Structure 1
Amino acid sequence: MAKWAIELGEHDIEFRVRHSIKGQVLADFIIETDNIDEEDTNNSTQVIILKVENTEWKLYTDGASSSDGSGVGLMLVSPKGKEFTYALRFKFTTTNNEVEYDALLAGLRMAKELNILHLHAFVDSQLVANQIKGTFEARQPTIQLYLAKAKELIESFKSFKLVSDEAKTRRLMH
């Protein structure tokens, strides 16, 4: 890090930490980058909502926790194949299972904020996927709260599919 600070310092380039993006900013960005016919400029909001309603987005999540900290990686993929990738670092201690839920919850909140109605989520935790599907029971009180919040957010989508595919998720996220 010091080496890069010296290299960048010669050119008056300053490194700034990227902070998390609020959902509305992400929604505005997608609206701006989406191709809309100029005839539909008065109805641009309706056009985008119709496009979102009739298509399925993909969400890939990956979370990790260690003694150095924890964080998550998220990738939302639009029906047209545009990728929106985010990395979040947490300043609190957490377990691997909790951070996997944090990753999914962050992705679900983003998708909800974007008014996405059809979502296909890929998580790299079989435990999280099976608890949400009801195959596994959540026994710890903290995990029960995470599970309840995840199910509450899932209810806001017209259709929701969840797949535990560790290999595919890790391949796409790295």
Structure 2
Amino acid sequence: MTGQMTNLAIEFDIEFTSTAHPVGLGGVGVHIVTESGEELNYEIKLSFKDTNNEAEYEALLEGLTVARSLGATEVEKRADSQVVVSQVTGRFATKGEKLKKYLQQVGKERDLFKYFHIQQISRGGNNKADHLAKSASGWEETRLSNYTIV
């Protein structure tokens, strides 16, 4: 090794979901699998009341932030939110000023990656992220191994 850093393209497969708690604050779960197979889990407690779609956007943004902080240049995202995935891909129009602002933020974050792809998966396809979100919001006490609470 010559002491010179090499740029590495790190691909992340990120599942995200959220939970809007009916009587309290929501939570976000982010499950990341790196190209080498390492799994990272994040629980994020939201400090504001939100709608489900707002919480889904928060989860998406948190996942992108974590991926970028870990050096990712290529990101594959999977989510069970048809609305958010369809708005990000341009298949659905975005209504409401708050969701439009979220979509703009996602666009700015997305542009920081060399490659970005998002796809919708079934609700059962992101069990780990779902458990993390429920735990962060106080719905469940299940903890996955190797998790971080934010």
The 3-state SS of whatever aligns with 1:85 is strand
Higher percent of residues as helix: 1
Distance 1:131 1:145 in 2: 12
- Whether contact under 8 Å (2:24, 2:49) holds in the other structure is no
Give the share of equivalent positions with the same residue, in percent: 29
Deviation at 1:112, TM superposition (A): 1.6
Residue ranges of structure 1 left out of the alignment (5+ in a row): 1-39
Q: Check if 1:42 corresponds to 2:27.
A: no
Residue ranges of structure 2 left out of the alignment (5+ in a row): 132-150
Partner in structure 1 of residue 12 of structure 2: 57
Partner in structure 1 of residue 140 of structure 2: none
1:27-79 per-residue CA deviation (whole Å, 9 max, x = no partner) reads xxxxxxxxxxxxx3834xx24x32xx1x4211110111022220100111111
Partner in structure 1 of residue 80 of structure 2: 124
Give the structure-1-normalised TM-score: 0.69
Distance 1:56 1:116 in 2: 6
Partner in structure 2 of residue 100 of structure 1: 56
Q: Which residue identity does 1:100 align to in structure 2?
A: E
Distance 1:154 1:129 in 2: 13
Structure with more contact order per residue of length (Cα contacts < 8 Å, sep ≥ 6): 2
Partner in structure 2 of residue 147 of structure 1: 103
1:98-151 per-residue CA deviation (whole Å, 9 max, x = no partner) reads 000000000111112222111100112010000000000111000000001001
| Number of residue pairs aligned between Structure 1 and Structure 2 | 128
After the TM superposition, list the runs of 4 or more consecutive aligned residues in structure 1 that deviate by more than 3 angstroms. Answer: 40-43
Partner in structure 2 of residue 84 of structure 1: 40
- Whether contact under 8 Å (2:85, 2:120) holds in the other structure is yes
Give the structure-2-normalised TM-score: 0.79
Larger radius of gyration: 1
Q: Which residue identity does 2:15 align to in structure 1?
A: Y
